[in-house]
């Protein structure tokens, strides 16, 4: 039976892991490769490097990290952040990464996703959707209506979410809102060739308050490609809820693993006891 996946996520800035594994005897807590090895030994199912380096000129740094990681750690590796061109993707895949995660570039040009999928195969194209609850405005169902952006930004950022609500997508780490319905966008991305969706709730991200289960479930049921839930994990029960109630295929978590609140294996033992299919070695 296919196991639900537990995926630690590491933020990498200028070649260094920020907020990485703490309270562990890593010789160098900022070293991405050591962090990756740590999670490999813990039985993580995949690993994601999120490159938050601001400058596009420094892309060779992440390539170097991927190369070194791929020499040492033999598990699926996804890299997200700052991917703008087909060459960026090719370079990452050649360096030894298996999937790339695309967000802003997909919103700027949805057909970038289809070109990438055609060239490299859907299996390595992950579309990252950052979604935020907004008041129940009627969105364009094609997901292509992005006029009136400023107006929406006002609405989204100033008004508290209320019922009826929907989810709009955002880019640039939640700083920009788009007039695009997140569920429709997920469908569209699947149609254009995305192989997987990495779904982050911008309302829940960093809260440790639990994933947005309704959002996760809405997208997971709308598409027929795997969905990784992200944003808000604070307890093991949150992981369970995202997988069981949110119907996610995988859960991404950062701080609960980095700060050693739980190991990946502990999380899996908990999930297995609650009837979730996980891979335990």
Partner 1 sequence: MIAIVDYGMGNLRSVEKGFQKVGVDAQVVSDAKSIENARAVVLPGVGAFRDCMRNLDALSLIEPIAKSIASGKPYLGICLGLQILFTESEEFGNFKGLDILPGKVVRFRIDLKVPHMGWNTVSLLKRPPIFENILDNSYFYFVHSYFVAPAEPAVIAGMTEYGINFTSMIWKENIVATQFHPEKSQETGLRILRNFGDWVKKA
Does the annotation mark 28 as catalytic?
no
Summarize as ranges the residues that interact with partner 1 (CB under 8 A).
1-5, 40, 45, 67, 70-72, 74-76, 93-98, 120-124, 195-196, 224-226, 249-250, 279, 281
Q: Would you say 124 or 215 has its CB closer to partner 1?
A: 124
Q: How far is the CB of 69 from partner 1 (least distance, A)?
A: 10
Q: Would you say 74 or 147 has its CB closer to partner 1?
A: 74
Does the annotation mark 11 as catalytic?
yes
Q: How far is the CB of 224 from partner 1 (least distance, A)?
A: 6
8 A C-beta contact, residue 54 and residue 11: no
Residue the block writes with tokens 């996520």: 9
Q: How far is the CB of 31 from partner 1 (least distance, A)?
A: 18
Q: Would you say 52 or 222 has its CB closer to partner 1?
A: 222
| DSSP annotation string for 153-185 | HHHHHHSPP-SSEEEEEEETTTTEEEEEEHHHH
Give the span between the Cα atoms of 112 and 192, in whole angstroms. Answer: 9
Instruction: Name the residue among 141, 145, 142, 170 with its Cα closest to residue 156.
Output: 170
Give the span between the Cα atoms of 82 and 91, in whole angstroms. Answer: 13
| DSSP annotation string for 179-202 | EEEHHHHHHHHHHTT-SEEEEEET
Per-residue b/e over 190-208, b at no fewer than 16 CB within 10 Å?
bebbbbbbbbbbbbbbeee
Q: How far is the CB of 40 from partner 1 (least distance, A)?
A: 7
> Is residue 229 within a helix (H) or strand (E), and if so which, with residue range?
strand 227-230
Q: Would you say 40 or 269 has its CB closer to partner 1?
A: 40
Q: Considering the candidates 45, 51, 88, 130, report the single residue annotated as catalytic.
A: 130
Active site residues per annotation? 11, 130
């Amino acid at each position: 039976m296919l196991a639900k996946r537990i995926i630690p996520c590491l933020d990498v800035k200028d070649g260094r892991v920020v907020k990485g594994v703490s309270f562990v005897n890593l010789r160098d807590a900022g070293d991405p490769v050591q962090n990756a090895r740590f999670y490999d030994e813990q039985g993580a199912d995949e690993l994601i490097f999120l490159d938050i380096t601001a400058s596009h000129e420094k892309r060779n740094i992440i390539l170097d990290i991927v190369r070194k990681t791929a020499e040492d750690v033999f598990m699926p590796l996804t890299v997200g952040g700052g991917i703008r061109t087909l060459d960026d993707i090719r370079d990452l895949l050649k360096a030894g990464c298996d999937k790339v995660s695309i967000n802003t570039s997909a919103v700027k040009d949805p057909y970038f996703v289809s070109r990438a999928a055609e060239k490299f195969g859907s299996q390595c194209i992950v579309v990252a959707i950052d979604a935020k609850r907004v008041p129940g405005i009627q969105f364009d169902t094609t997901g292509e209506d992005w006029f009136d952006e400023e107006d929406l930004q006002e609405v989204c950022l100033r008004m508290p979410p209320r019922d009826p609500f929907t989810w709009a997508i955002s880019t640039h780490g939640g700083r920009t809102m788009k007039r695009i319905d997140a569920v429709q966008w997920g469908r569209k991305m699947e149609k254009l060739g995305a192989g997987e969706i990495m779904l982050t709730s911008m309302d829940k991200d960093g809260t440790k308050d639990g994933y947005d289960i309704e959002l996760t479930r809405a997208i997971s049921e709308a598409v027929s490609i795997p969905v990784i839930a992200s944003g808000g994990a604070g307890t093991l029960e949150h992981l369970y809820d995202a997988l069981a109630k949110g119907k996610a295929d995988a859960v991404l978590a950062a701080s609960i693993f980095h700060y050693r609140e739980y190991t990946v294996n502990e999380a899996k033992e908990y999930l297995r006891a609650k009837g979730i299919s996980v891979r335990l070695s």
